[in-house]
Chain A
């Protein structure tokens, strides 16, 4: 309740974040209601209408097979944003679980888990994502899995650090001197303090995951044709950039706006949830 009130208050103060929230709301609505909003089916080809310029019939023009780019971008929202959300949430769930376990238990288990994250972090994100999705086979599900794995060490480390500092904190020690149950300690002290930075990290990572999905799609490792997916659309579209500028441009703009909005909102969430951000 308090949090909702504070969020609204901080949004009124921060117009920039407020507009990003509105953009994101639109993106989500577009994703959910794509079938209602789309003027054409995303997969219907029309050879005689190929590569038409934007106009009243086709708002963003058509591609090399005569498919409506506007409708394909709308449907692409579902794929890109949906898969990014699933991948990051999966990664955060598994990573937080393993990481906090590692931090609370400590000893050799902690050592083993942390060396595994070291190995994962040694690879550049994109290279590892490419290698994984190539090894698993080119499909959108495998791309999501690859992104989840690539993002895993971040959540493991974050959760571990938090778990360590919480378990050694004086407020947990104080709670023990009051004789409260361990269930209460977990509910009131551990979970809220553990989850806050995780939530912030999730919002910051979604934008990154959308970019990764698009990159994998662009390289042919993500969504396969004829799925409407932003990265795959740009992959064919960039050949037409000189003569049919609208083909990759609108798709790229969709990626840019969505990722940007997620990043701004992520920063806003961080400021909001950080107990040290003053009022």
Chain B
């Protein structure tokens, strides 16, 4: 695991949220000196209970929050730091949010939604991937049809909407896709379809995933390496096989024991 293989390097990042209610200062250390690497082409799982800082990490990676200290290095360039304003590689990192009901603008057509990320990428890249035949190929790749392009999000089921969100994330041909609990708002039966789609397009588009979840079953099925997050700290980072076979930390054991495993059968 040498450093030049790493697509994303997160180096001792910190994030504290300060809230004030009725004059009382409240400090919440959402992320505590956290470091990890994601290799090219791998699926890195980030698991932990709610409130463990998973979504804060996603927000920090997507430049939606600023770091208190530390650095995030993507593809050899600093993209987030506590000082200065590093250039964020829009289009190279995309995110799929948990709730496709809210992540798609109800007043836009599917075509407008999918093409929106192209607005801030270079003209060359727009030419390369942004033609209508590319859009068509893309939505077919995520399992939708051409006539769906002119419809509005409310005309689709939850699973279909998440497919639209995935297509939108892929339009710029990103290197890294952050999947922030992409299936937890979906029906169980649809979850499996979306997970399989994610697996299929990872091979097709050569993607690297950061998969954030609290569902250990899905993580076991999809991820190459897993980091366990507890109260803003990474308590354990291991390969898939090892973390499920021999969890070292008590917290990891508890987490594994607490989740029913629906994806066990799918592996066979």
A contact set with B: CB distance below 8 Å: 169-171, 173-180, 184, 188-189, 192-193, 196, 275-276, 278-279
Contacts and interface: CB of A to CB of B under 8 A. Distances in A.
B106 interface: yes
B102 A193 contact: no
Contacts of B62: 176-177
A48 to B, nearest CB: 63
Contacts of A275: 106-107, 152-154
A119 to B, nearest CB: 25
A179 B106 CA distance: 20
A120 B62 CA distance: 43
Given A175-B116, A178-B91, A275-B153, 20 more contacts: A169-B105, A170-B97, A170-B102, A174-B168, A176-B62, A176-B63, A177-B63, A177-B64, A178-B116, A178-B117, A178-B119, A179-B90, A180-B116, A184-B119, A188-B108, A188-B116, A193-B107, A275-B152, A278-B155, A279-B155
B152 A171 contact: no
B120 A173 contact: no
A85 B179 CA distance: 49
Nearest to A184: B119
B219 interface: no
Nearest to B102: A170
Given A170-B97, A170-B102, A176-B64, A192 B107 contact: yes
Contacts of B13: none
Contacts of B116: 175, 178, 180, 188
A220 B88 CA distance: 66
Interface residues of B, number: 29
Given A178-B119, A179-B90, A180-B120, A170 B155 contact: no
B161 to A, nearest CB: 11
A193 B107 CA distance: 7
Contact of B64 (A169, A173, A193, A278): A173
A193 B106 contact: yes
Nearest to A191: B107
A170 B88 CA distance: 20
Nearest to B107: A192
Contact of B103 (A174, A179, A193): A174
A193 B103 CA distance: 14
- SS of B interface (majority): mixed
A179 B95 CA distance: 12
A84 to B, nearest CB: 28
B94 A196 contact: no
B229 interface: no
B152 A178 contact: no
Residue from the set A171, A174, A176, A278 with the largest chain B CB neighbour count within 10 Å: A174
Nearest to B108: A188
Contacts of A278: 155
Contact of A189 (B94, B105, B152, B154): B105
A279 B120 CA distance: 34
A276 B108 CA distance: 13
B104 interface: yes
A193 B154 CA distance: 14
A189 B105 CA distance: 7
